Amino acid sequence: MAETLADAPIQAFLATRPVVVLATLQPDGAPLAAAMWVLPGPDRLTMISVADTRKVRNVRRDGRVSVVAEAGTDADIRGVAVQGRAELLEESPRRSALVDRFVARYPGLERRWRGRAMPSDRVMFQVVPEKVWSWGLPV
C-alpha cells in the first residue's frame, strides 16, 4: 500500500524534525540540496525562503523537488522522503495562517523578522507530494 503524508507515523516523525533537506533542479539538471525549516501537513509540506536564492529560482523554473527528513544512528536510522512539485503561495488569509504556524514552530523567526509578519523579501511554497516513502518508522 502506498504511503501518504497523512499517515500517522509519518506525521509524528515529521513533527520532530525542525529541518529537512530540499533538493531542487538547477538549469543544467544538477541537483541542489539545501537545509530548510518545514511546516508539515497531512497533504503538503510548507517552506519559507529568501526570494532571490538559487533554490527559489530553481523552483520557479522547474517545480520538481525532493525532500528528505532523517534521524537516528547507524543502528537505528529512520526517515521520510517525498517527491513532488513545489507551488509558490501568493498573499492570502491561508498563507497568513501558515506564517503564524511557522512563527509558533520556530520562535526565533519573530526576532529575526523583527515581528510576526513574513518579510517582503521572502516567499512561501508548498511541496505537493507525488510519492512518499519512509523507513524505520513504527507501523
pLDDT of residue 139: 75
Query: Which set of grid coordinates corresponds to residue 50?
Result: 529568501
* Distance in angstroms (rounded) separating the CA atoms of residues 130 and 66: 10
pLDDT digits (tens, 9 = 90+) for 20-35: 999 999 999 999 999 9
Sorting pLDDT into bands at 50, 70 and 90, what band is 8? Answer: very high
pLDDT of residue 138: 87
**Domains of the chain, with CATH numbers?**
8-135 (2.30.110.10)
pLDDT of residue 73: 83
pLDDT digits (tens, 9 = 90+) for 76-125: 899 999 999 999 999 999 999 999 999 999 999 999 999 999 999 999 99
Residue-wise DSSP of 100-126: HHHHHH-THHHHHHTSSSPPTTEEEEE
* Alpha-carbon dihedral sign for residues 16, 10, 95, 34: positive
CA distances from 35 to 75, 115, 119 (A): 24, 23, 20
